[in-house]
Structure formats: C-alpha cells, structure tokens
Structure 1
Amino acid sequence: MSSADTALPGLDLDRLADWLAAHRPELAQGPLRGELIAGGKSNLTYAITSGTTSFVLRRPPLGHVLATAHDMTREHRVISALADTDVPVPDTYALCEDTEIIGAPFYLMELVAGTPYRRARELEALGPERTAAISAGLIDTLAALHSVDPVTVGLGDFGRPEGFLERQVRRWKKQLDASYSRELPAATELHELLAKSVPPQSASRIVHGDYRLDNVLVDASDRVAAVLDWEMATLGDPLTDIGLLLVYQRMGTHHIPGVTDVAAAQGFLGESEMLDRYAHRAGLDLTHIGFYVALASFKLAVIAEGIYYRFIHGQTVGAGFDTMGDMVDPLLRAGIAALQQDQE
C-alpha cells in the first residue's frame, strides 16, 4: 500500500511526504503508509511508516474545533518540555503550523511500544501482582509530573494558575448552561457548594487534564512507557488530576458503559493506597481531596450532559450516547456527597 493509494480521513500522505522531504527527510525513506489509531472528537492520531522508520502524527479533529482544546503547538510544547524529566513522554520530531499541508496544524512524535489498558479483563489476564505494579506505576508517574517545576522546564507561561480552581468552577457551570435542556437541581446544589468551598490552591504545577490508565502506554515490563493525550494540559492545581482519576475509577468499578473499568481488576490499588502513595511522592496535602473529587464529578457530569444534549437534538451520534444522560444525576450526587464528607 503506497501513499498514492491510501485514503486516510484528515491526512493526505502524498502532501505529508512532500513536506517531510523538505523538513525531515530521514522520516520518509520510502512510500508512506498510515493507520488511524485514535479518532473522534479528540485529536486524531495516526501511526505512519515508510518501511524503515515509523512515527506518530497528531492533528485536530475534522470539522469545527475549539482552538484552545486542540492546539497542536501547546501539545508539542509540553511534551517537548518534559523530555528530560522523570515523566515518560514520546520524543517529538517536528511541528508544522502551516494548515496548507494537510488542512490543519500537526506534529510528529515517536511511536512508543506499549499497551493502553482500558478494561479490567485485560489486567486480570496479567494477574494481581502485575496489576498492582501497573496501578502503582500510574500513580508514581502522576506524582513525577506534579513534582516538575514548570519554570525549570520552560513552561512558566503555559497557563494562568492564579485563580485556577475558581475558573474551573465557573467554566463548567457555563458549559452546563450552554447544554440546558432539563431541570437538574443537583447541578445547582453542587455548583453552589463548590463555589463557596474552594480550598487554598496547591502550588502551581503542570496539569495533564485527563489522566487515567488508558491515556498512558505500559511496556512489557509493566512500567509506564509514555504519557499520551496532552490536549487538556495547562498550569494549575495538580490535585485536579488526582480527583479526576479517582472519579474515573469509581465510575469504572460500577461498570458504567463507555468508562474504563480497570480499577475493578484484582490487584489494582485501592483509593487509600493510591492517595497515600501519591501524597508521599508528590509531597502535596490531600486534606481537601473531597473538593477535587466533587469538582471532577461536576466536570464529568457536565460533559455527559453536553453529549446527551447534542444527541437528543440530532447534533451528534455515537454508541451509548442515548444513555449518557443517565450518568449525570449520579455523578452530581456523588460530587455532593464527596464535598459534604470533606467538610465533616
């Protein structure tokens, strides 16, 4: 299969080959072949090979995109900045901001060997000891990220950490208002509780924004080989990452369709073990972890309501979208409970 007879959505391999010939000729020693390995509303990811070399290309999704959510320059910048730290990331090869090449900005990075575990059954096939090691590595890697001084790696201006938590509360309320289609009294209650319960902010660190096991690659030795999907990365309160991870895992243990359920696998570290391990390695105070769990619950409820809103208005289609609305109220109530427990 040559570049001339390969049709990939969002990527013209012939035009890419011409660009590589001028900018990174060592990556295009033969006809290019490619495969879309991740697509949808997130950034598109392609595995590409010339027969002698292989790499990954990332570009924004097709159609209308939010510049802030699909900024290739920011993704490329944060991955490149972390290259010499203890955070495992792919090597970056090139950034192209010229939209005339493939129709959108893109960047190239190393194709890292590894598995993005998503299902408990995948981990159960490895056994509880290996599962425990993988979940410990997941936490250790997050702690390593949150131990990086942004200024030291050239990311001191990567975001606006001042007032980060307050802006998050406002942002997700604004998103919910834009998807309003039904009464959600629990949303009003949770938002009010969050707005008046914002804790003192942790030291500014690099926030991944969507950290979970299926957004990292695990190698054959059960170590995290690379952290992927940096499209939500910014500077802010690092505890928002751990709060979101906990909510993902709580949802997974209830086997909610479409949500990774890895935390249900035998051997996967429990919440208290994960929090103790994280606090020890990151050196951060988890006194108000309930707030961060509540904020993450609010965020995911708003995202689910937005998908449900677009589905019922015929603006999007997808497996499971018809039931997304069923997730919203349980998430909101879980957030209220987490915040109330935090205040006891």
Structure 2
Amino acid sequence: MSKVEAVVIATNPQRPADYNEAALLAVLEDAYLIADKKEDGVRLNLCVTPSVAFTGAFNVEWLSREGKRFPRLNSAGRKGPLSRDPRWGRDFFSPFASMQGLFPQGFMLDAELIVKNEFGADMACKGTSGTLRRDREEHGDIPLEHLKVVVFGVVPMDAIESGKDYPVTHAVMKYHVEAQVGALKETFPEIQWEVVESLDVFSLEELHQFNNKIRDAGGEGVVAKDPNGVWKRSKVNGMWKIVPKDNEDGKVVGLVWGTEGKANEGKVIGFEVLLESGHVVNACKISQAQMEEFTDAVNHWETREESERDAPMPYEGHTVRVTFMERYENGSLRHPSFDCFRGISDPLIKE
C-alpha cells in the first residue's frame, strides 16, 4: 500500500443514495428518471485550472472523490497526465480555438476512471484500483492510451472551490457533458473519453429493464437521477443506486488465521470485517499469493522492536469490499469473501 496522500481539493462530489422505491416513484409522479450506467471503475474528479487566462499556464489534478491524488498518476516533482500540456492553451482554453470547451476559467469532470490492460481490455474495479494504488516511481507511467474516462458531470472550478451545490439540473448537465467530452476528444485523442451511457425512463419497469440489460452485459447496474435535481455534495437524495446487494463495503477489524493442523496453519487467510450495515463477518477465500503477502506483513510487524510497535496492526481499519451469495433476513451474509481493498490514496478511506 502506498503512502497516505493529502487532500488537494475537497471536491466532495454527490454520491448516490441507496435504492429507495418511494423516492423514485415520487420523482416519476412529476417527471421522469435519468438512468446512467454504473461503470466498474474508480470515481475520478479531474480538475483543470488555468492560472493565467489564455497563456497556456494551468494546473491539472487527477483526484479521487476524496480529493486526493492517485499514487500511480503522480509522484514527487512529477505531475499527472496532461499537466503542462500546451494543447490546453493552444486548442482548448484559447478563445480562438475551434473546439474550445466550456468554462474557460477552469472545470472539474465528475467521471469514472478505468485503466486498460496491455491487451486494451478494460480492467474491473479491482484491477484499476490496484494499478492506481502502486507507486509511480517503482512502476512507471501508465500509457495515456490505457486510460478511459467515462464522464457523467462537469462543474466549473469556482463552484467546486465554493463548497456549495451547483445549481444546474441533471437534465441540462447531460448536454454540458456531451459538449465538454467532444472538445476533449478533439484535443487529447490518445485518452478514451466517453459520455456515460444513459437512458430517460418513465416508469420503474423501464428503470429495472435497463438495469437488467446492463447487468446481463456484465455491468454493475445503473444510477438513477432526478432530472430536476442539481449537482450536490456528499451522499444525498437526488441520485440513487440501482445495483444488486451482492457486495458490501466495510473496514478491517481483525485477522482470520488458518486452522491449526490444516494446510494453511500459521497463515492469514482473511479478515474480520465490520460492514457498513453493522455486521461483522469473516471475509476469506483469498489466493495463496495474498495469504503469503498478508502473513509476511503481519509477521514483520510482530517481530519489530517493542519501541516500534506503536503503529497499528497491518491492515487494521483498511477499507475493503466483501462479496457474498445472499443476505439473510437478520442482515448476516452467506459465504462472505474478501474481494479487494477500497483505499487508493489512503487505505483507510473508501474511494
């Protein structure tokens, strides 16, 4: 796990609330719902700020939803992708550019970042977050053609810096996104920029049909938006997750060790996880390579000098995703398994 990154910009973007049928029906009574495909990537807040208008001087920050840099995209003395690229001033922010984007004083893309593998295929969230978590100095730059950015929001930087909601409705923002993505495609074609796949639906039946279509194609599900709602901060109503309850996030509160006398005796075979629902589960079913990695880290911690033992147990408090087969009526899970760490810039924060 990389070192903990500091908050660069407190973007605090709106996060979808849990599925709420009554709230969705209330929106449908007066209007319709915007259903966006939920991409299986990592939330990206891409902030671009010219320091002096139209001179080509600017600042580009690739941030998580917590406002922190991704270790693989940044390192000491080296900025992330597209930083100080002259095309911003020449083709994008210039008033004379044919493809000038919106918000010439700076903007933030609210998007999903996906990293492609060496064969050009999209990595799942686990692969993308694992790649972004690695140290840039050790593993090198990610080729720009391996970056895919799926955009569902664009907000001017002065609104982001204000810390307030942005009073543009989701219905209107769709068109702002299309315009901004079109300009980015023209100026920076080496990166795969996309507008999120979206559909306007007028009933719960249509919403679930679209969700099932996405799920059947291997996607996570959809996010439903109130078209008359505006871009807000934090986890509030106006956006709702329409995803299956087959995974849940939580924090590591302990270790699970292999049974004495069994093949994995003396090895860490999983974690005790306090789920967001309040239940504690043993999330195991990890690979042999993970067993070796986790056990080595714990053993190294246990053999340190007592004066150096002030640091918490390795992995304590780390945010993780747990997958499961079924949720019982009492809220407990059937066959919970460790899926991946959720922290990227900070292991203790879900990103």
TM-score of the two chains, using structure 2 as the length reference: 0.29
The structure having more radius of gyration, on CA atoms, is: 2
Structure with greater helix share of residues:
1
TM-score of the two chains, using structure 1 as the length reference: 0.30
Q: Which has the higher contact order (CA 8 A, sep 6+)?
A: 2
Structure with greater strand share of residues:
2
